[in-house]
Amino acid sequence: MSLSLQLPSAGGDLFQYTLRGTAPTAASPSRAAGQRVKFNRIAYSAAHVVADPRAAADPWLQCAIDWDATIAYRRHLWSLGLGVAEAMDTAQRGMGLDWPTSLDLIDRSLAAARDIPGALVASGCGTDHLAPESVTSVDQVIAAYEKQMGAIEKLGGKLIVMASRALARVARSPADYEHVYDRILRQARQPVILHWLGDMFDPALAGYWGTSDADAAMDTALGIIAANADKVDGIKISLLDKDKEIAMRRRLPPGVRMYTGDDFNYAELIAGDGLGSEPTHGHSDALLGIFDAIAPAASAALAELAQGNVEEFHAILGPTVPLSRHIFAAPTRFYKTGVVFMAWLNGHQSHFTMVGGQQSARSLLHFAELFRLADAANLLEQPELAMLRMKNLLSVYGVDS
C-alpha cells in the first residue's frame, strides 16, 4: 500500500504527503518479556477517557464513557512503565467529565491497577461538583475538597489536589489559599501531589495563589508546601515556563518533588541540570498530558535515561516536542482533542468522538499538521491504519484524498 495522501495546507490547497511510516522505538527486551520498566524518574501520564458514541446521551450535557476502552488504555500505559494520573484535565475534568463519573473512573482505574504489580495511580481531587458562581466562602471550598478527598481515600487512592475554580473565584488574598490548603493537607492520609495549572489551560484559574504576579504566587505556594512538607509528595506546575519551574524546583523543601507539567519543555526539564541542594531538585519528574499521546516514545526515552544514555533520551524524545507544542497550542485548553485524535490514529479506540463533543474543538488544518508531526516523530504505531483514518476524517470535511 502506498503511504501517501492529500493534505490541506494553510492556504487551503492540497499537497501530496508521503508518510515516513517509521513505527515508535521498539520495546526493550525486558518490556517484551513482560517485566516492569525501571526508570530513574517518576513518570505519570494524565490519561484521556474514551467516549461511548453509541450511548443514548446528549454529549454536551451527559458523560457517556466506554469503560472497556478507557481502562484498556490505562493498561497500555502501565505496560509501558508509566503511571496514570487519573481524572485530571486530560480526562476532560471540567470540560465534560463530571464528578460522579470521575469518581467511578477513579474506582475502576484503582481496581484495574491492583492486578498489575507496581502500577502507579494518583487521582485528581478537586471542587468541581460545585458551580463556582454558587460559592460565596472559602469554607465551602474546604468542604468541597473534603468531600472528594474522603471519597478517593476511601477507595485507597493517592491524591492530586487540583487547582479549584471555586477557590480562585472567592479567595481575596494569599491568606485564603494558605487557610484552605493548610486545612486540606493536615487531613491527608498520605503525601499528596499539588497542582498549579496556569490560566492558559483554564482561564478560570487566573490569579491563582492570590495574585497575578507569578513570582509572588510561587512564594505563596512554596510557603504552603514548607508548612506542610511531610504531607506533600510534590507539586505539578503547568505554566509552560521552564525558567519558573526550575526556579521553584530548586526552592522546594527536602524530599518534595517537582513534577513537570510543561508540555513545551518536558525533555530538558526531565533530563535536568543536576543543580540544587537535593538530588531530586536537579531534575523534574513528570506528570504530563502529552505522555498519553507519546507513550511509547516517553517509555523508551525514560528507559534510556535510566541507563545513563542522555543523548539517546533526547534523540527519542526531542522529535516529539514539536508535536506537543502543536497539540498544546493556544487555546491550550483544547489540547485534549489532539490527545484523543492520536489515540484514534493509533488504533487504541475505534472512533474519534469525545465527551462533550470536544472533537470539534480543533480545525481540519490542525489535525492535518498533527498527523504530519506525529509521523515525523515516529509516533504512528500502525502507519497504514493511521493513513486510512486520516483519509476518513478528510472525507468528512469534504476533502477527497
User: Is residue 310 pLDDT above 50, yes or no?
Assistant: yes
> What is the distance between the alpha carbons of residues 80 and 77, in angstroms, rounded to a whole number?
5
For residue 401, is pLDDT > 90? no
181-185 long-range Cβ contacts below 8 angstroms, 24+ apart: 181/224, 181/228, 182/224, 182/227, 182/228, 183/142, 184/142, 184/145, 184/146, 184/149, 185/161, 185/224, 185/228, 185/231, 185/232
Residues of the domain holding 127: 39-320
Q: What angle do CA 62, 65, 67 make, to 5 degrees?
A: 155
Residue 109 domain-assigned (yes or no): yes
In a domain, residue 198? The reply is yes
- Residue 173, Cα to own-chain centre: how many angstroms? 29
356 domain-assigned: no
pLDDT digits (tens, 9 = 90+) for 237-289: 999 999 999 999 999 999 999 999 999 999 999 999 988 888 889 999 999 99
Domain count along the chain: 1
339 located within any domain: no
Q: Which of 19-28, 31-40, 321-330 has the lowest mean pLDDT?
A: 31-40
CATH number at 175 reads: 3.20.20.70
Q: pLDDT at position 36, please?
A: 56
Q: Is the pLDDT of residue 31 over 90?
A: no
What is the mean predicted confidence (pLDDT) over 345-370? 97
H-assigned helices in 114-232: 138-154, 165-170, 174-187, 214-227
Least confident of 51-55, 78-82, 273-277: 273-277
Output the pLDDT for position 34: 46
- The tens digit of pLDDT for each residue in 6-17 reads 999 988 899 999
pLDDT tens, position by position, 190-245: 999 999 999 999 999 999 999 999 999 999 999 999 999 999 999 999 999 999 99
Strand partners, 197: 238
User: For residue 210, which phi and psi values (nearest 5 degrees)?
Assistant: 95, 10
Domain contains 326: no
Read off the pLDDT of residues 298-308 as tens digits, 9 standing for 90 and up: 999 999 999 99
203's enclosing H/E stretch is none
* C-alpha gyration radius of the chain: 21
Q: Is residue 315 part of a domain?
A: yes
Does 359 map to a domain? no
Higher-scoring residue by pLDDT: 178, 132: 178
Q: Which of 230, 314, 232 is nearest to 271 (CA)?
A: 314
Q: Is 12 a domain residue?
A: no
Average pLDDT over residues 308-326: 97
**3-state SS string for 25-72:** CCCCHHHHCCCCCCCCCCEEEECCCCECCCCCCCCCCCCCECHHHHHH
